[in-house]
Amino acid sequence: MTVLQEAIRKRAAELLEAGEVVRVIAWGSGRFANQTSPLFVSAAADAEKIVFNDYCVNTLAKYALNEKVDGKIAVCVRGCDARAINRMIADNQMTRDEVYLLGVPCSGMKDRATDEVLPKCLTCTHRNPVVYDELLGEAVAEPAEEEVSGLRYSGIEAVEAMDREQRLEYFNEVFNSCIRCYACREVCPVCTCRECFVDQLRAGWQGKQNNLNENRFYNLIRVFHIGDRCIECGECARVCPMGLPLMELNRKWIKDLDELFAAGEEGLTDELDNTLGRYKTDDIEEFM
Amino acid sequence: MSVVNEAQTGVAAGTETFEPKILAFACHWCTYSGADLAGLNRMNYPANVRVLRVPCSGRVNPQYILTALNQGVDGVLVCGCHPGDCHYVSGNYYAKRRLMAFRRMLQYTGLEPERFQVRWISGSEAGKFRDTVTSVVEQIRAIGPYTPDPALAALIDKGTDAQNPILPESVAAGEGGDAS
Domain containing residue B70: CATH number: 3.40.50
Give the pLDDT confidence score for residue A275 in this predicted structure: 92
Three-state DSSP class for residue A50: strand
| Residue A236 binned pLDDT confidence (cut-offs 50, 70, 90) | very high
Residue A249 above 90 pLDDT?
Answer: yes
A284 and B100 within 8 Å at the Cβ level: the answer is: yes
Give the pLDDT confidence score for residue B155 in this predicted structure: 75
Choose, out of B71, B97, B146, the residue to mutate when testing the contact with A (most A CBs < 10 Å): B97
Q: How many CB pairs under 8 A join A and B?
A: 135
Residue A217 above 50 pLDDT?
Answer: yes
Task: Name which of A62, A9, A1, A68 is nearest A33 in CA terms.
Answer: A1
Q: What is the mean pLDDT of chain A?
A: 93
CB A51 within 8 A of CB A41: no
Domain coverage including residue B131:
2-147
- The ipTM, to two decimals, is 0.91
Residue B134 forms part of a structural domain: yes
> What's the average model confidence in pLDDT over B132-142?
96
Residue B173 forms part of a structural domain: no
Give the pLDDT confidence score for residue A161 in this predicted structure: 94
Give the nearest partner residue to B166 out of A171, A204, A211, using CB atoms: A204
Give the nearest partner residue to B66 out of A217, A227, A277, using CB atoms: A217
Residue B67 forms part of a structural domain: yes
Nearest chain A Cα distance for residue B40, angstroms: 24
Which residues 86-105 of B have a C-beta within 8 angstroms of A?
90, 93-94, 96-102, 104-105
Give the pLDDT confidence score for residue A54 in this predicted structure: 92
Task: Name which of B109, B103, B65 is nearest A287 in CA terms.
Answer: B103
Closest chain A residue to the Cα of B175, Cα to Cα: A202
B79 reaches A (C-beta below 8 A): no
A217 and B166 within 8 Å at the Cβ level: the answer is: no
The residues, ordered by sequence, that sit 6+ positions from B47 with a Cβ below 8 Å of its Cβ are none
CB B150 within 8 A of CB B64: no
| Integer Cα distance of A123 and A126 in angstroms | 9
Residue B174 forms part of a structural domain: no
Number of domains in chain B: 1
Name the DSSP class of B68: H
Residue A4 above 90 pLDDT?
Answer: yes
Helix intervals (H) in B77-125: 91-108
Give the pLDDT confidence score for residue B10 in this predicted structure: 46
Give the pLDDT confidence score for residue A129 in this predicted structure: 95
B111 and A168 within 8 Å at the Cβ level: the answer is: yes
Give the pLDDT confidence score for residue A192 in this predicted structure: 92
B101 and A197 within 8 Å at the Cβ level: the answer is: no
